[in-house]
């Protein structure tokens, strides 16, 4: 296992972190025996960063039992997350945190995150409820060591959030297709320059970079290295860079864990050769060519004076047709928010002013393309679905 230093705490963290969102399941729910076995196998191989969340159904409880059964609590760093939408008062902060300690059968959380903090307004709401004082108290008592936030929103919001508080770490989505999406490379570098530890999630873009590549893209990588798995290319692309500290992978089988461990053993900054970078560039081009709207997510067209998140509209739409309905709508909900009228940044807000088209280096017909996105992503049949999902979220 390779390790990188958390610049804030000095902790030596394994480059491969264990994401606990999708633990192995049996007929009646999470398979406790397998979960405990995976914990042992991972720690024995040197993994020391484990990430769960209050809202990962059954995950905190199952991991707590595994920690208890193995006695490995002091051999690892434990990260979990606050569901900030459930916080309505300062008392909720204590109530939820105490419940998490109980579920995890521990007295402290090493890395505590505000889960999926979307923007400054959401943070300010929490500040109004006294979260800053609450964090100070928890840190003074030793119940929380490092405080951070995870993020799936827009890049500008991420940059604002970075400046809003003395964060110690952050967790962002990042992979070779998402260089300009969400926080992106700009956000990664900004966080690192501020001295934050950066944890990467979705290195395989929900598994699609391992199992959902177009055949021509897979062929390029197989040709470049017949022995390397598609997943290892995606991990190595991140580990090649100095800014990320931990890369999370949601592993739910011993085989998957063993494969990722083997890749992580070789992880080092600058590990990819110029030829390997070229192969990945080719893959990105092939994937982008398979897109319905050839947007590169460069954001030169932004900001839209009427609040349309142009690159995210196109990204989610392309994903829907290149990687499936679920992936496409997952992106649409997290970026465009059709279920939240006050935060909605979708194609229906376009006033056809044309300001964006003059700035697009790809010369895209943005106004027409937004109409296309609207027609397909917000068709009449999707509206009841959007309303239902909105209620669930």
Among 310, 336, 373, 377, binds ligand SF4 (CB under 6 A): 310
Q: Which two tokens stand for residue 277?
A: 């970078």
| Per-residue binder mask for ligand SF4 (CB under 6 A), 224-243, x = binder | --------------------
State in angstroms the smallest separation of the CB of 201 from ligand SF4.
23
Rounded CA separation 206/344 (Å): 24
Rounded CA separation 171/152 (Å): 9
Q: Is 5 near ligand SF4 (CB under 6 A)? A: no
Q: Which is nearer to ligand SF4, 192 or 315 (CB)?
A: 315
Stretch that binds ligand SF4, among 189-197, 237-245, 247-255, 346-354 (CB under 6 A): 346-354
Q: Is 301 near ligand SF4 (CB under 6 A)? A: yes
User: In this structure, are strands 12-14 and 3-5 parallel, antiparallel, or unpaired?
Assistant: antiparallel
Restricted to residues 347-386, the positions that interact with ligand SF4 (CB under 6 A) are 350-356, 359-360, 362, 364, 366-367, 370
Looking at the chain, which runs of residues are DSSP E strands?
Answer: 3-5, 12-14, 16-19, 25-26, 29-30, 49-51, 77-82, 109-114, 144-151, 169-173, 197-201, 246-249
Stretch that binds ligand SF4, among 90-98, 246-254, 294-302, 372-380 (CB under 6 A): 294-302
Position of tokens 């598994």?
Answer: 207
Q: Which is nearer to ligand SF4, 228 or 298 (CB)?
A: 298
Encode burial over 79-95: b for 16+ CB neighbours within 10 A, e otherwise: bbbbebeebeeeeebee
Q: Which is nearer to ligand SF4, 19 or 311 (CB)?
A: 311
Restricted to residues 102-161, the positions that interact with ligand SF4 (CB under 6 A) are none
State in angstroms the smallest separation of the CB of 247 from ligand SF4.
26
Rounded CA separation 175/379 (Å): 30
Position of tokens 């604002």?
Answer: 160
Q: Is 96 near ligand SF4 (CB under 6 A)? A: no
With CA atoms as reference, report the closest residue to 171 among 19, 338, 352.
Answer: 19
Among 196, 272, 279, 308, binds ligand SF4 (CB under 6 A): 308
Interface ranges with ligand SF4 (CB under 6 A) = 295-301, 304-306, 308, 310-311, 314, 350-356, 359-360, 362, 364, 366-367, 370
């Amino acid at each position: 296992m390779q390790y990188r230093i958390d610049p804030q705490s000095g902790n030596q963290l394994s480059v491969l972190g264990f994401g606990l969102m999708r633990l192995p399941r049996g007929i009646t729910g999470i398979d406790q025996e397998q979960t405990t076995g995976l914990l042992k196998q991972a720690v024995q191989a040197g993994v020391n960063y484990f990430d769960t969340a209050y809202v990962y159904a059954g995950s905190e409880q199952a991991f707590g039992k595994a920690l208890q059964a193995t006695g490995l609590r002091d051999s690892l760093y434990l990260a979990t997350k606050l569901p900030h939408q459930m916080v309505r008062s300062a008392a909720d902060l204590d109530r939820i945190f105490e419940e998490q300690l109980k579920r995890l059968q521990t007295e402290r959380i090493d890395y505590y995150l505000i889960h999926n903090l979307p923007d400054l307004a959401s943070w300010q709401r929490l500040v109004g409820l006294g979260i800053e004082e609450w964090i100070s108290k928890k840190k003074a008592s030793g119940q929380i060591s490092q405080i951070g936030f995870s993020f799936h929103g827009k890049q500008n919001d991420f940059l604002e959030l970075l400046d809003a508080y003395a964060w110690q770490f952050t967790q962002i989505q990042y992979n070779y297709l998402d260089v300009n999406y969400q926080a992106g490379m700009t956000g990664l570098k900004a966080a690192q320059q501020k001295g934050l530890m950066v944890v990467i999630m979705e290195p395989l873009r929900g598994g699609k970079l391992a199992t959902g590549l177009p055949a021509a893209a897979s062929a390029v990588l197989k040709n470049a290295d017949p022995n390397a798995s598609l997943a290892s290319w995606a991990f190595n692309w991140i580990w090649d860079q100095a800014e990320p500290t931990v890369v999370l992978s949601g592993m739910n089988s011993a085989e998957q864990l063993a494969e990722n461990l083997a890749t992580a053993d070789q992880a080092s900054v600058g590990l990819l050769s110029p030829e390997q970078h070229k192969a990945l560039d080719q893959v990105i081009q092939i994937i982008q060519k398979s897109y319905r709207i050839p947007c590169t997510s460069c954001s030169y067209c932004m900001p839209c004076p009427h609040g349309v998140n142009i690159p995210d509209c196109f990204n989610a739409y392309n994903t829907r047709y290149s990687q499936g309905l679920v992936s496409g709508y997952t992106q649409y909900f997290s970026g465009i928010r059709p279920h939240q009228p006050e935060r909605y940044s979708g194609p229906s807000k376009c006033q056809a002013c044309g300001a964006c088209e003059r700035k697009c280096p790809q010369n895209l017909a943005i106004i027409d393309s937004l109409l296309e996105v609207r027609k397909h992503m917000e068709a009449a049949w999707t509206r009841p679905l959007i309303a239902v999902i909105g209620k669930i979220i």
